[in-house]
Amino acid sequence: MNQFAKIPSVSRVLENQRLAQSINEYGHSAVTRVIRNHLEILRQQVSDGVDLGDKDEIESGLIRQVIQDLQQQAVPNLRPVFNLTGTVLHTNLGRASLPPDAIAAMVDAARYPCALEYDLETGGRGDRDALVEELLCELTGAEAATVVNNNAAAVFLTLNTLASAKGKKQVIVSRGELIEIGGAFRVPDIMSRSGAKLVEVGTTNRTHLKDFQGAITSKTAMLMKIHTSNYEIQGFTHAVPEKQLAELAHKSEVPFVVDLGSGTLAHLEDWGLPHEPTPRESIEAGADLVTFSGDKLLGGPQAGLLVGKRALIEQIKKNPLKRALRVGKITLAALEAVLRLYRNPDSLQNKLATLQQLTRPQADIQAAAERLLPMLQSALQPLPVSVEVVLLNSQIGSGSLPVERLPSAGLSIRSNSRKNGILHRMEAALRKLERPVIGRIDNDAMLLDLRCLAHEDEAFFIRQLSQLAQMPIHETK
């Protein structure tokens, strides 16, 4: 029989009852498109000389594949994962998990019209920044505040506004602070793109007030301090305190700007965490402008917050680039809700998801590991691996407090043979689960740090482990 004659027509496949539900769910045109793709593959196989076999088998195999493709295509690309990496604020996994108050506010803002730029007192036009400005001022002690898309944008906009005037573009920064954050954000690059001219002073490990003094000229636009978020210089070091830099800047009649990076609005040491500098401390030390992120230790949505002197904030808001970098209503809704939580530090640990994760006691995490151990053992039972509860160290992430570690616990999976290929196949299989599980391989173990697995998600975590049985973990290449 002519092999081509075995291939069914599109209309014939569409009429197959087994596809009726798919057509209902995904629509006629989507189903048709997927059928066409598969028919094309069959035709290609025939051209390559393949015998397609039994005619009825071809059609039923085709339908199985079409349904599978449609199901796969329906899975959203941006979907939840279990962050068991041990890094709480994981940039590649979306940083802070938002608290319920913020989620509720986002849903309302998404669903209903809202007074985003509408003054409900006068009925006139409002300013979207005003929704959070008062809160930010209250929480930082600043005179004024504004918000942009992220902290990189806040730094860029600050430089572009305050350090791009002809003949006054120089920004003086210590050599120890010329940081790179996650590859794409590098201080020297942001400087040059913004129109500012970087003037490096001091050395990698030591910078003194006199270094700054000696660099100030009539071309100086500002003095800048950048928080070295993601690394720490230890040993024979010196950095100039903010207070001295502020005094020097003001004597020279230029602003002193601080990029705090993470920044948080509470005293983390109150919860036994290491101290992280706050915007209020910088403002009190005399900083004229402070920038920080919304989704690092603050525990809010992606945003860049700028707080400081009213005149500078006004100038920044007049920059046409501010319009290009502004945040949307959903971000503002979440940010306002999170900022409100900081008004009452006593209930913050209860309400702010990020703080809850960061302060979760090791014993509590270990208890979760003990609970999950038998389930993971039985899901992996056919495989030549051993699973055990281990004590781990989590890190905060997003460049916050890079050398601090949080005592944690989790599950470790080790290969019973000396070959570790199975761990890599296991890692890949965990990523293919309905809600992908992201762990890490460290030395000879696949580690699942359970700090960020919420108690209420444990049941789901366990249920989907049964899917592992169908995955090609055992296979050797």
Question: DSSP per residue over 211-270, as a string?
Answer: HHHHH--TTEEEEEEE--TT----SS-B---HHHHHHHHHHTT--EEEEEET--SS-GGG
The least CB distance from residue 145 to ligand PLP, in Å, is: 16
Q: How far apart are CA 341 and CA 81, in angstroms?
A: 26
First to last CA, the chain: 37
The least CB distance from residue 266 to ligand PLP, in Å, is: 18
Contact between 151 and ligand PLP by CB under 6 A: the answer reads yes
Among 13, 105, 152, 450, binds ligand PLP (CB under 6 A): 152
Question: DSSP per residue over 391-448, as a string?
Answer: EEEEB-BTTBSTT--EEEEEEEEEESSS--HHHHHHHHHHHTSSS-EE-EEETTEEEE
Which positions from 364 through 423 interact with ligand PLP, judged by CB under 6 A?
399
Q: Which is nearer to ligand PLP, 227 or 451 (CB)?
A: 227
HEC readout, 65-79: HHHHHHHHHHCCCCC
The least CB distance from residue 225 to ligand PLP, in Å, is: 10
Which positions from 174 through 193 interact with ligand PLP, judged by CB under 6 A?
179, 181, 185
The least CB distance from residue 387 to ligand PLP, in Å, is: 36
Among 158, 293, 357, 394, binds ligand PLP (CB under 6 A): 293
Q: Which is nearer to ligand PLP, 304 or 439 (CB)?
A: 304
Contact pattern from residue 215 through residue 234 relative to ligand PLP, giving x for each residue in contact according to CB under 6 A and a dash for the rest = -----------xx-x-----
The least CB distance from residue 398 to ligand PLP, in Å, is: 6
**Is-contact 19 66, C-beta < 8 A?**
yes
Contact between 460 and ligand PLP by CB under 6 A: the answer reads no
For residue 398, what are the CA distances in angstroms to 90, 233, 261?
6, 18, 9
Contact between 259 and ligand PLP by CB under 6 A: the answer reads yes
| Longest CA–CA separation in the chain, Å | 94
Among 22, 140, 150, 220, binds ligand PLP (CB under 6 A): 150
Q: How far apart are CA 375 and CA 393, in angstroms?
A: 23
Contact pattern from residue 27 through residue 46 relative to ligand PLP, giving x for each residue in contact according to CB under 6 A and a dash for the rest = --------------------
Determine the 3-state secondary structure of 144 from DSSP.
strand
Q: Which is nearer to ligand PLP, 293 or 356 (CB)?
A: 293
Interface residues with ligand PLP (CB under 6 A)?
A: 150-152, 155, 179, 181, 185, 226-227, 229, 259, 261-262, 293, 304, 399
